[in-house]
């Protein structure tokens, strides 16, 4: 009986430790493609979560929140107001789209301490919004510490289309970078067949390029993870810092008349 109890506890612990606990910084706009007859003010929600499972974490006010509009950078940090996403502290801002162009929204959060991984997490997160038919400049770099530079348009994608990006750190490609992929299961209708399917994991190639075909419509997050070349102290002890380059991309369903 004792042996059976021990085995049950061991298996239970094993299941817990093998569950996916991927973290994702998130920027989700109310619209990724603003057309002439749309509402020209979009809302952007910034949060930190396990997006497939719908488990949020508190996000302290980001260190910075920017938009790069037609090559010009604007500081939107003062525009942030408190919000709630997945029952946790988050932030939101409204932004008026006044002219045609590409709008690259990006944020640098404050370091998040994750005791289960014994490290700090710092996800540089971005998403792209296009307006009024503009279809170039989508591969521009934001100049973040680490980022995913799209090699496919990060908008106007059908579910099943291939999305490609190149992982960069300090402006240079990262060979064989690990990339985690997760679906934003906002309505909680999606169910993974097993815990292995919650987070998809892949490797970039020798040039830092990765590819992924989203199997269904919705928002998908891509997070390329690297360990920083510096440490931050927790209770006086130096700890590793996980640098995440995150991009959120919307895939849309194929519609027929």
**Residue boundaries of the structural domains of the chain:** 23-252
Is it the case that residue 20 has pLDDT exceeding 70?
A: no
Query: What local confidence, expressed as pLDDT, does residue 21 receive?
Result: 62
Query: What local confidence, expressed as pLDDT, does residue 71 receive?
Result: 84
What does the mean pLDDT of the chain come to? 90
Q: Is-above-0.85 flag for pTM?
A: yes
Is it the case that residue 14 has pLDDT exceeding 50?
A: no
Is it the case that residue 76 has pLDDT exceeding 90?
A: yes
Query: What is the percent of the chain where pLDDT is above 90?
Result: 82
Is it the case that residue 227 has pLDDT exceeding 60?
A: yes
Q: Which residue has the higher pLDDT, 13 or 55?
A: 55
- State whether the Cα torsion 52-212-149-151 is positive or negative: negative
For the stretch 89-130, pLDDT in tens is 999 999 999 889 999 999 999 999 999 999 999 999 999 999
CATH fold of 23-252: Immunoglobulin-like (2.60.40)
Q: Are 66 and 107 in contact (CB under 8 A)?
A: yes
């Amino acid at each position: 009986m004792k042996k059976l109890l021990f085995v049950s506890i061991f298996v239970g612990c094993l299941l817990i430790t093998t569950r996916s606990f991927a973290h994702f910084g998130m920027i989700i706009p109310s619209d990724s493609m603003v057309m002439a007859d749309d509402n020209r003010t979009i809302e952007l929600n910034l949060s930190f979560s396990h997006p497939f499972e719908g488990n949020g974490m508190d996000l302290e006010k980001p260190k910075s929140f920017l938009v790069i509009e037609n090559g010009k950078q604007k500081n939107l940090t003062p525009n942030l107001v408190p919000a709630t996403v997945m029952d946790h502290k988050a932030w939101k801002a409204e932004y008026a789209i006044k002219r045609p162009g590409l709008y690259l929204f990006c944020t640098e959060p404050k370091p998040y301490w994750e005791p289960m991984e014994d490290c700090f997490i710092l996800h540089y997160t971005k998403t792209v919004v296009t307006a009024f038919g503009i279809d170039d400049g989508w591969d521009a770099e934001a100049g973040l510490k680490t980022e995913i530079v799209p090699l496919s348009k990060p908008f106007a994608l059908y579910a099943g289309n291939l999305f490609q990006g190149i992982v960069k750190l300090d402006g240079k490609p990262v060979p064989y970078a690990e990339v985690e992929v997760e679906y934003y299961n906002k309505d909680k209708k999606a169910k993974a067949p097993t815990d292995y399917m919650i987070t998809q994991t892949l490797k970039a190639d020798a040039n830092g390029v990765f590819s992924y075909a989203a199997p269904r419509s919705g928002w998908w997050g891509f997070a390329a993870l690297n360990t920083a070349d510096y440490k931050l102290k927790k209770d006086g002890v130096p700890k590793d810092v996980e640098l995440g380059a995150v991009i959120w991309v919307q895939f849309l369903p194929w519609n027929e008349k």
